[in-house]
Amino acid sequence: MTDSDPDAHVLGPGLLATPFTADEIRAACGNGKTIRLLIEEPSGTRSFRVNRFRETDADGATLDRWSSGSDGVVQGEISSARVTWRDLQAHAAFPADRAVLSSETLSLPIGRLDCLRYDVRERPEAAPATFWFSTRHPGMPVRYEAPAEGGVQRTTIVAIEWQ
């Protein structure tokens, strides 16, 4: 299976196509790729998280993650783990019977972006979690909203820096 093969986006039976293949994610996430995120909780609390790729190779990379203040200074410990490009692709392999795929354009701190939107329900009666993947930024969602208890309020994670 190659990236030019449409099946490279489908990781198994009953799953929607992923927005990116493992090879597309690998090509976009070289050494030093840094993604800074703003996390807004229903309580109004705001925090920041940073993801940085290093030691990249054909199979994967070391992914460093940490919390930071608004100034970007590391707060707490940096966690590091080896990830594969295929595992990162699999994070967006949603069950077709519980997910709806559509397109939407968003205006975010990193720009105006054409996105693939996945609304995913854990259970049929549950409020959906929503993932927006920028077609220009292979990898993680540029925006993510998860329903809080009761499904009314939502936790929002937005990419505010992508370099």
Query: Structural domain tally of the chain?
Result: 1
Closest by alpha carbon to 53, among 29, 18, 20?
A: 29
The amino acid occupying position 157 is: I
Inside any domain, residue 44 = yes
| The pLDDT value given to residue 98 | 95
Inside any domain, residue 1 = no
Inside any domain, residue 127 = yes
Give the CA distances from residue 136 to residues 17, 20, 49, 140, in Å, rounded to whole numbers and listed in that order: 17, 10, 21, 11
Inside any domain, residue 17 = yes
Q: What is the pLDDT of residues 39-82, one digit of tens each?
A: 998 888 899 999 999 999 999 999 999 999 887 789 999 999 99
| The pLDDT value given to residue 69 | 85
Report residue 128 CA to chain centroid gap. 16
Inside any domain, residue 60 = yes
Alpha helices (runs of H) in 85-153, residue ranges in sequence order: 85-90
Give the CA distances from residue 2 to residues 7, 10, 76, 128, 134, in Å, rounded to whole numbers and listed in that order: 8, 12, 40, 32, 22
Q: Would you say residue 2 has pLDDT above 50?
A: no
Inside any domain, residue 43 = yes
- Do residues 129 and 146 make contact, with C-beta atoms less than 8 angstroms apart? yes
Q: What is the pLDDT of residues 3-19, one digit of tens each?
A: 455 689 999 999 999 99
What CATH number is given to the structural domain containing 61? 2.50.20
Q: What's the whole-number mean pLDDT along residues 116-144?
A: 94
The residue segments making up the domain with residue 60 are 6-162
Q: What is the mean pLDDT of the chain?
A: 91
Inside any domain, residue 78 = yes
Comparing 143 with 147, the larger pLDDT belongs to 143
pLDDT bin (cut points 50, 70, 90) of residue 150 is low
Q: Cβ atoms within 10 A of the Cβ of 39, count?
A: 15
Q: Would you say residue 143 has pLDDT above 90?
A: yes
Q: How far, in Å, CA of 5 to CA of 86, rounded?
A: 15
